[in-house]
């Protein structure tokens, strides 16, 4: 694990740790890793610090002799789609902190195939960064700064072609859409209108102070759209996060839809349409995903936690569909990355083609309760404690894809070490809340005991 790049690139507080100097240095490091004359597509979300950081990043890239194409404000998946399809870019770079509060920002790099940059490449860029091994171009080889218009329009047109637009148009759905004052404001409302949907927007003006609501789409933060869906008798409510790679849904009765249920529903839809196929999700996802996908004729394989890991696995194993429970769903027919507008369009397609209300479709998905807890554990004891935990459950089915996952007769327990903090994350899932809670508490006590012995 690098010192600079986390799971979602480099993040920080705008103009404090994530400042112009850091952005420029990241640009110099990426540019020095690439070849002189290469091109990089740079885009950003709507944050107030975005123009400053994008300009600094671009200047750093240009100083190494790399050309910069500026896409302006774009959803992260729209930039990824342009990088993947145009073949002109050696990399992409997005200035975004996704769902984090407005005072934060970040920078993440994209590979030429449109997926998040591989970690071995990030490590190489990080080495250039920390060793100050930057390449400075001669005055007559400094990279150009050019505009890259039309990224959002091309993205919207591509999604329209990937779904059954005629079926959607016939249903005349009413959709309430909240784009969280983020980059999705420039794409999602127009996509829905092209699909013949009656779209009512909320927080769809671009505003980097995020005046509508806090940017993480939790049930508490999105009460307004819940009320609006009910008041308008809408068919569905949709909330995209700040950079429009993830989205959450409200059913027609105003019920917040848990991300595991969306994941299960869409996995089932994908394999049923295809008459079988592979769905990929991290080990932390609910068992209802596998249950539902199997019932619809498909199969599930598990990865470590992290959307880029899921996306790579899907590419390598020709998966049909995949994603995480946080609303980040991946559709290979579009691209191998989380994509909120593609997810939105596919769910609307399912509503239109099934003719059923959203709550009824969700009612066909099995249920379970998951409990998440934290437990302190010194970093130097984590590996041994995990081994001991796995050994103690040698009689059960144990999965060591990411931490230790134990399947018991009551449900399953997953113990994962945090990469950044001296803690274990403990997940427990069972068919009822009572059993899930007791399973979690039993496991916490067991692991506490093991940590003490691992010292």
- Residues marked active site are found at 98
**How many Cα atoms are found within 13 Å in the side-chain-facing hemisphere of 317?**
20
Distance CA 106, CA 251 (A): 32
Contacts of 130 (CB under 8 A, 6+ apart): 3, 4
Distance CA 184, CA 77 (A): 10
By beta-carbon proximity to Mg ion, the closer residue of 180 and 285 is 180
Please report the DSSP string for 322-352 in residue order.
EE-TTS-EE-TTT-SSB-HHHHHHHHHHHHH
**How many Cα atoms are found within 13 Å in the side-chain-facing hemisphere of 192?**
27
Query: Residues 98-127 vs Mg ion: string with x where CB under 5 A?
Result: x-----------------------------
Q: Which of 204, 187, 185 is nearest to 150 (CA)?
A: 187
By beta-carbon proximity to Mg ion, the closer residue of 324 and 429 is 324
Q: What are the distances in angstroms from CA 65 to CA 60, 82, 395?
A: 9, 22, 59
Q: Are 282 and 402 in contact (CB under 8 A)?
A: yes
Under the criterion CB under 5 A, does residue 326 sit at the interface with Mg ion?
no
Nearest approach, Cβ of 95 to Mg ion (angstroms)? 13
State phi, psi for 376 to the nearest 5 degrees. -70, 140
By beta-carbon proximity to Mg ion, the closer residue of 98 and 285 is 98
# chain residues binding Mg ion, by CB under 5 A: 5
Among all residues, whose Cβ is closest to Mg ion?
98
Nearest approach, Cβ of 326 to Mg ion (angstroms)? 9
Report the Cα–Cα distance between both ends of the chain, in Å, rounded.
24
Nearest approach, Cβ of 45 to Mg ion (angstroms)? 8
Nearest approach, Cβ of 105 to Mg ion (angstroms)? 13
Looking at residues 42 to 101 of the shown chain, list those that interact with Mg ion (rule: CB under 5 A): 98
Pairing of strands 423-430, 369-376: antiparallel
Nearest approach, Cβ of 243 to Mg ion (angstroms)? 4
Looking at residues 218 to 257 of the shown chain, list those that interact with Mg ion (rule: CB under 5 A): 241, 243, 245-246
Nearest approach, Cβ of 245 to Mg ion (angstroms)? 4
Pairing of strands 411-417, 423-430: antiparallel
By beta-carbon proximity to Mg ion, the closer residue of 29 and 340 is 340
Looking at residues 393 to 412 of the shown chain, list those that interact with Mg ion (rule: CB under 5 A): none
Distance CA 245, CA 182 (A): 11
By beta-carbon proximity to Mg ion, the closer residue of 246 and 312 is 246
By beta-carbon proximity to Mg ion, the closer residue of 184 and 411 is 184
**Category of 306 on φ-ψ map: left (φ > 0), alpha (ψ -120 to 50) or beta:** left
Q: Which of 392, 416, 449, 219 is nearest to 306 (CA)?
A: 416
Which helix (H) or strand (E) segment holds residue 290: the answer is helix 287-295
By beta-carbon proximity to Mg ion, the closer residue of 95 and 288 is 95
Nearest approach, Cβ of 180 to Mg ion (angstroms)? 10
Distance CA 41, CA 68 (A): 6
Give residues in contact with Mg ion (CB under 5 A): 98, 241, 243, 245-246
């Amino acid at each position: 694990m690098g010192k600079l790049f986390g799971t979602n690139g480099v993040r920080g507080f705008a103009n404090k740790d994530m400042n112009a100097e850091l952005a420029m240095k990241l640009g110099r490091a990426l540019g020095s890793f690439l070849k002189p004359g290469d091109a990089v597509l740079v885009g950003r979300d709507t944050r107030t610090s975005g123009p400053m950081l994008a300009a600094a990043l671009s200047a750093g890239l240009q100083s190494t002799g790399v050309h910069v194409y500026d896409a302006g404000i774009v959803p992260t998946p729209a930039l990824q789609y342009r990088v993947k399809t145009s073949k002109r870019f050696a990399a992409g770079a997005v200035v975004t902190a996704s769902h984090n509060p407005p005072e934060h920002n970040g920078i993440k790099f994209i590979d030429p195939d449109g997926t998040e940059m591989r970690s071995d490449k990030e490590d190489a860029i990080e080495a250039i960064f920390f060793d100050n091994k930057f390449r400075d171009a001669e005055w007559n080889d400094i990279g150009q700064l050019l505009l890259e218009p039309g990224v959002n329009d091309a993205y919207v047109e591509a999604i329209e072609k990937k779904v059954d637009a005629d079926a959607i148009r016939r249903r005349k759905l009413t959709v309430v859409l909240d784009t969280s004052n983020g980059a999705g404001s420039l794409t999602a409302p127009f996509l829905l209108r092209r699909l013949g949907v009656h779209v009512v927007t909320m927080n769809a003006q671009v505003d980097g102070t995020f005046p509508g609501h806090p940017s993480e789409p939790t049930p508490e933060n999105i009460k307004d759209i819940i009320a609006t869906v009910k008041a308008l008798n809408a068919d569905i409510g949709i909330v995209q996060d700040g950079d429009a790679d993830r989205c959450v849904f409200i059913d027609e009765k105003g019920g917040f839809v848990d991300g595991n249920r969306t994941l299960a529903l869409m996995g089932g839809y994908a394999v049923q349409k295809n008459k079988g196929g592979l769905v990929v999700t991290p080990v932390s996802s609910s068992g209802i995903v596998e249950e539902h996908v199997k019932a619809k004729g498909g199969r599930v394989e598990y990865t470590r936690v992290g959307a880029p890991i899921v996306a790579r696995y899907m590419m390598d194993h020709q998966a049909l569909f995949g994603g995480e429970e946080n609303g980040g769903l991946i559709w290979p027919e579009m691209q191998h990355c989380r994509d909120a507008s593609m997810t939105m369009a596919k769910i609307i397609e399912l509503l239109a083609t099934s003719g059923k209300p959203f709550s009824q479709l969700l009612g066909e998905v099995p249920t379970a309760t998951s409990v998440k807890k934290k437990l302190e554990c010194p970093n130097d004891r984590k590996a041994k404690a995990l081994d001991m935990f796995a050994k103690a459950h040698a009689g059960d089915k144990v999965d060591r894809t990411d931490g230790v996952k134990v399947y018991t007769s009551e449900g399953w327990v997953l113990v994962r070490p945090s990469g950044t903090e001296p803690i274990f994350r403990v997940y427990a899932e069972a068919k009822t809340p009572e059993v899930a809670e007791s399973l979690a508490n039993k496991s916490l006590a067991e692991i506490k005991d093991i940590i003490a012995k691992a010292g």
